[in-house]
Structure 1
Amino acid sequence: MKRIARSTLQTSVNLVFFAVIGTAILSSTYYLTRDTIAATVAQAKLKLVSQLLPPTSYDNDIMQDRHTVAADEMLGTEEATQAHIARRDGKPVAVVLEAIAPDGYSGKIALIMAIHPDGSLGGVRVVSHNETPGLGDYIDIAKQDWIKTFDGRSRSLFSDEMWKVRKDGGMFDYMAGATITPRAVIMAVNRALQYFEAHRDELFVADAQPAKGAAK
């Protein structure tokens, strides 16, 4: 019995030892690679931003000129995101916001968009999605130019009734048999513009404090 007890104790000690070692290795790997991962993410975001705003339209470091935006229902976000500000000669040119369309055909659709001070869109791009290849994936700029139909649109020029696909009486084209995907994107962009209207001043202010969530 004593031999069994000692064997069991030794096994337990070994398990704890390897668990500690494994945790230490994972922690070390994280700390060694986190800067590289962050740099890769930043470069990917900058590449998307360059599709929304011509690099010559601003003269600040847009990736560093940023502040935290709290998770908000209007943005569809469940975690804090970063708002990036484009400025020229110190004056705001646009704010780049992240948003989520929660109701895509195959799940969430992550978006990034540039909004000018007058509320007009510099553009919208899909960051990630799981929509059906050859059907709902036409929202991806790599597949088709449909997403460019948001360029220059604003809520001041078009009422809420127009922020729908043509099948529903709105102004946006869609691919036959794939209306759920564009509906989700259109609604998400419209909600993000409403968020912008409610938080315009705090989004553009220099050295801004984290933007508060919209009143629920």
Structure 2
Amino acid sequence: MNQTTMTPAEEAAAPAETVAGNPSLLERLERWRPQVAYQGLSLGLICALVALLLLVGNVMTRGTIADQQMQDRLATLRQVLPDALYDNNPLADGFKVQDEQLGEVEVFPARLQGKLTAVVFQGSNIGYGGPVNQMMAVDAQGKILGVRILSHKETPGLADKIEVSRSDWIKSFDGLSLDNTALDKWKVKKDGGQFDQFAGATITPRAVVKTVLQGLQFQVRHAEQLKAE
């Protein structure tokens, strides 16, 4: 039987071809490619690489995201809490209060020369599209200093009027308290209360009003504890 041999020059010129009758690495990979094991291994390697990249990206951006979230919360806090009422850092001094109705509530105290002047806390109720998260500030006498929406998924063009950038509706709570507003007035007008609803979107303002009332009642229930903290 004749066996074709290759000169060293021919072997160097064609490294991917069969050398001395033995299949090259490239040829073996090509033969293995259609097999399920090869495809599974390839998919596994790709998934592992993607997971590694996501992990690295998360680690690298975690600090930046946390800083941005803190800045956003601080910016919102300044909208509801006048600078003249505190000389501390309310966010850094925050503490948690266990409430029998609302569960665990994080409170951010505003102090001026060591005296509690106001408290800021977050609340949430379900609107039309999901949770409507908001922040409110109440002074030591139980009067609302300000309310702002933190996040929501309500219908654009209808229910987004709860945002201060869309309308002044959210400012209608300023100055109100349980002392100057009867309990049965803490509803939208459609339900017999005093707060405007939006055309085609009653559920959203109803949720906001409910959360504000819950915040005032929370402040009353824990007034002494908040002062002690």
Calculate the TM-score normalised by the size of structure 2: 0.74
Task: List alignment gaps of at least 5 residues for structure 1.
Answer: 207-216
1:32 alignment partner, SS class:
helix
1:87 corresponds in structure 2 to 111
Structure-to-structure mapping, 1:21-40, within 5 angstroms = 21-40=49-68
Bigger relative CO (Cα 8 Å, ≥ 6 apart): 1
> Is residue 129 of structure 1 aligned with residue 157 of structure 2?
no
Distance in 2 between the 1:145 and 1:9 partners?
63
Distance in 1 between the 2:43 and 2:101 partners?
44
How far the C-alpha of 1:145 sits from its partner, in A, is 0.7
> Is residue 178 of structure 1 aligned with residue 224 of structure 2?
no
Residues 187 and 193 in structure 2, CA contact (< 8 A), matched pair in contact too: yes
Larger radius of gyration: 2
1:63 corresponds in structure 2 to 91
Task: List alignment gaps of at least 5 residues for structure 2.
Answer: 1-30
1:97 corresponds in structure 2 to 121
1:213 corresponds in structure 2 to none
Cα RMSD for the two superposed structures: 2.8
Residues 101 and 111 in structure 1, CA contact (< 8 A), matched pair in contact too: no
Distance 1:98 1:31, change over 3 A: same
Distance in 1 between the 2:47 and 2:96 partners?
36
Calculate the TM-score normalised by the size of structure 1: 0.78
1:65 alignment partner, SS class:
coil
Structure-to-structure mapping, 1:178-197, within 5 angstroms = 178-197=201-220
Q: Percent same amino acid among aligned pairs? A: 38
For residue 110 of structure 1, the aligned residue among 120, 133, 137 is 133
1:74 counterpart letter in structure 2: L
